[in-house]
Structure 1
């Protein structure tokens, strides 16, 4: 690992998996490809690679927006101005001189 020009972190990140894509993405020189023949270990048997597991999210309770404090605040933001408007109209109506 000390002989690798890219450092040991690159090698450790590819440990235990097929590093072909990692090798090709870096854009190694021809001399690096010749060195690879010396250190090449072999092919991975596809039968030994575990099948990809799909992610199953944990079960969550259903979200009911009508039972949250935010819903109460939204209702109050709508009702309070209406109540103030109604009160203003009532006061004007009863205090108005004919």
Structure 2
């Protein structure tokens, strides 16, 4: 098992800092829980996606998330979500 710390996702105004753990091959997961859930809940995707024995399972534990967005009224804001300290801090940039 390999432990990785990285910035997993930065897309569309969302940045996730996390701990990622390589859990090994999907087909070697005890009970194959991921594979069963994927098949049950996303059948069409599962059916099109290759299930070869080269696919790995990565467990992601978010530590910190930043969200940049605008409200329905056009207000720019950021949310800072700290999973370790269990806090959420909003920061509003625009006032109309």
Say which structure is richer in strand. 2
Give the alignment's TM-score, normalised by structure 2: 0.20
Give the alignment's TM-score, normalised by structure 1: 0.20
Question: Which has the bigger relative contact order, CA under 8 A and spacing at least 6?
Answer: 2
Say which structure is richer in helix. 1
Structure of larger gyration radius: 1
